Amino acid sequence: MKQLTIIKIGGNVIDNSENLHQFLLDFTALPGDKILVHGGGKIATELGESLGIEAKMFDGRRITDIETLRIVTMVYAGLINKNMVAQLQAKGNNAIGLTGADGNIIKAKKRPIQKALSFGVDLGEVIDYGFVGDLDENSISSATLDNLLKAGLTPVLCAITHDGDSQLLNTNADTIASAVAVAMSSLYKTRLVYCFEKKGVLKDVNDDATVVREIKSNEFESLKVNGTVAGGMIPKLHNAFEAIKKGVSEVYIGKADELGELESGRFGTKLNP
């Protein structure tokens, strides 16, 4: 099987033009076929605040009312996506920017109103995430992505999906990256890489020297309980371990400006079964 690397980049890296430039250079230099998945939370939050729309989060995930959906669609599918595609083209990478609606690549289901849980504990209330899309095993069109890759294109996927009935949805970019990696694992040897502003999973979030180099799936729950893994890192690791269970060969979490170390084995935290 050919190798395919799926890389997810977060908003904190996107916000820094110098770091983004270096990341895209390193991304372009990686061998084999590649897919880039991106969010862009900080830019969307800042734009929303300038328009008087407050960002609302629960358990590391964005609550998306109709006004927020409009903002994230403009930012993710427009400003961020096309800016990165243009930069990749300048670096010799023939990229194509897409939402989940384009080519019916990612079809999601609107998340139902549900119990509010934190670390598996029922908080005694319900939560409506709004126009948030959830994915299942049939959400990703692996055939369409495969055709794009075979055509020599690098798909750049933003966090906007659709429900097949004309409704756009906001879907967690980590979830998209994981689902794409799983779906493509029947066609490629897939490697999933989460890039953000930290060197990996840290024992001390303020000390980059405390990188946890490897984490096994049976250690995940205890790391949540003791606070080593918290906030947005929780869904990130959850998705990563689910991806491993479903056929993804390798999963890494690390700092975007160290992506060049991926081939040497010195990049971030590696997650193991």
Band (pLDDT 50/70/90 cuts) for residue 264 is confident
pLDDT tens-place string over residues 174-229: 899 999 999 999 999 999 999 988 889 888 888 888 898 899 888 988 888 888 88
For the entire predicted model, the pTM comes to 0.90
Q: CA 239, 60, 138: angle at the middle one, nearest 5?
A: 35
Q: What is the pLDDT of residue 44?
A: 87
pLDDT value of position 138: 95
Residue 271 or 117, more confident? 271
**19-46: average pLDDT:** 92
DSSP E strands in the chain: the ranges are 3-9, 33-38, 56-58, 61-63, 95-98, 109-110, 114-118, 121-127, 133-134, 154-157, 160-162, 168-170, 189-196, 214-216, 250-255, 269-272
d(CA 253, CA 211): 10
What per-residue confidence (pLDDT) applies to 4? 98
pLDDT band at 116 (very low <50, low <70, confident <90, very high): low
3-state SS class at 202: strand
Section 51-76 average pLDDT: 87
State the average pLDDT for the chain: 90
pLDDT for res 45: 86
- Rounded to a whole number of angstroms, the CA Rg of the chain reads 18
pLDDT above 80 for 58? no
Residue 118: pLDDT band by 50, 70, 90 thresholds?
Answer: low
Q: What is the structure's pLDDT at 13?
A: 83
d(CA 86, CA 94): 9
Band (pLDDT 50/70/90 cuts) for residue 127 is confident
